[in-house]
Amino acid sequence: MVSRLELYKSCVKILTEHNIDDAEFDAMCIFQQAFGEKIPLSKPNETADSSHINNVHNAVERRCNGEPLQYVLGEWDFWKYTFKVGGGVLIPRPDTETLIQNVLDICEKNALSSPKILDLCSGSGCIAVTLDKEIPQSAVYAVEKFGAAFEYLKENIKLNDSDVTAVMADVLLPENAVKFKDFDIIVSNPPYLTQKDMTELQTEVRKEPSSALYGGTDGLDYYEKMTPIWRDSLKTGGFLCYEFGMGQENAVGKILLENGFENLSFARDGGGIIRTVTAEKSEEYHG
């Protein structure tokens, strides 16, 4: 017979012994899920039954083997919504909420109440689904190349009762872009880690798909290739919004200026790092 509190303490101990940084947080998330309760330790002396114990032990073992907490739980929150995640899909990160705020600000400032929005490299769909929910009159399209991520994208659209249109396609092929026309906003969090970054990944991040992380030697491949390919899918005066990595703002800004964008505006994430840029497709550009 083991009480909930005893089980919790033993989990924290095991996680700590395996060098998990925030063992108490992880143990609590695992408990919340295993018991299906917000505050499972509100009944500390209640006996944990064997199915709860099994679930908790399985989750702790996976976490100790270096799986990200988010994969172990199978879902993670982003903005006000919950997204299913697991092997083959990038975990939604709080940094990316900056991009959501940028798009909401653009819509408000420009009185876009029913914008047509395109999300490239959509992954879990956290950007596309959140925008679709936050801007009810919008028409949102999400493009994702990889099968495993695409399955999560479709599942997350359903889970959140959203009507995003999911399209499986490679964003680096120009022939895929020609089918998309007259968008008000294109948004993307493409892979942007550099070759050096990839050698320094945390154990957990190594479990995420490198296809969603690696952006070429200098991390800029996707900005260089996607910008000219997708520019023509935007209306004149439409907006392109990118997330990028720390220190990439000048290089990404230069790519946008060279491709007929103007009025660049950069924003910092919650950690104070310059993380996103929004830019307007210039009227004069006839590239």
Which of 213, 240, 256, 277 touches ligand GLN (CB under 6 A)?
213
Tokens linked to 150: 């695409």
Which residues are CB-neighbours of 202 under 8 A, at least 6 positions away?
Answer: none
Report, in Å, the least distance between residue 155 CB and ligand GLN: 20
Report how far apart, in Å, the C-alpha atoms of 51 and of each of 58, 66, 132, 283 are: 11, 23, 38, 63
CA distance linking residue 249 with residue 209, whole number of Å = 24
Helix locations, the chain, DSSP H: 4-17, 23-35, 50-64, 69-73, 97-109, 126-134, 147-159, 174-177, 195-199, 203-206, 221-230, 249-258
CB-based burial label for 119 (10 Å; 0-12, 13-18, 19+): buried
- Asked whether the beta carbons of 142 and 167 are under 8 A apart, the reply is yes
- Asked whether the beta carbons of 286 and 115 are under 8 A apart, the reply is no
Report, in Å, the least distance between residue 93 CB and ligand GLN: 5
Report, in Å, the least distance between residue 156 CB and ligand GLN: 17
**Minimum CB distance to ligand GLN smaller for 34 or for 70:** 70
Which of 68, 191, 238, 260 touches ligand GLN (CB under 6 A)?
191
Query: Which region, judged by CB under 6 A, interacts with ligand GLN, from 69-77, 97-105, 187-195, 248-256?
Result: 187-195
Report, in Å, the least distance between residue 82 CB and ligand GLN: 20
Which of 28, 53, 205, 273 touches ligand GLN (CB under 6 A)?
205
Residue with structure tokens 């895929």? 176
Position 172 contacts ligand GLN (CB under 6 A): no
Binding mask 94-113 for ligand GLN (x = CB under 6 A): -x------------------
Report, in Å, the least distance between residue 85 CB and ligand GLN: 13
Residue from 187, 188, 223 nearest 115 by CA: 187
CA distance linking residue 169 with residue 207, whole number of Å = 23
CA distance linking residue 138 with residue 252, whole number of Å = 27
Query: Which region, judged by CB under 6 A, interacts with ligand GLN, from 78-86, 112-120, 139-147, 191-199?
Result: 191-199
Which of 57, 93, 154, 207 touches ligand GLN (CB under 6 A)?
93
Position 207 contacts ligand GLN (CB under 6 A): no
Which of 189, 194, 227, 233 touches ligand GLN (CB under 6 A)?
189
Query: Which region, judged by CB under 6 A, interacts with ligand GLN, from 4-12, 18-26, 185-193, 224-232?
Result: 185-193
- Asked whether the beta carbons of 164 and 142 are under 8 A apart, the reply is yes
Report, in Å, the least distance between residue 117 CB and ligand GLN: 18
Report, in Å, the least distance between residue 212 CB and ligand GLN: 6
Where does this chain bind ligand GLN (CB under 6 A)? 93, 95, 189-193, 205, 213
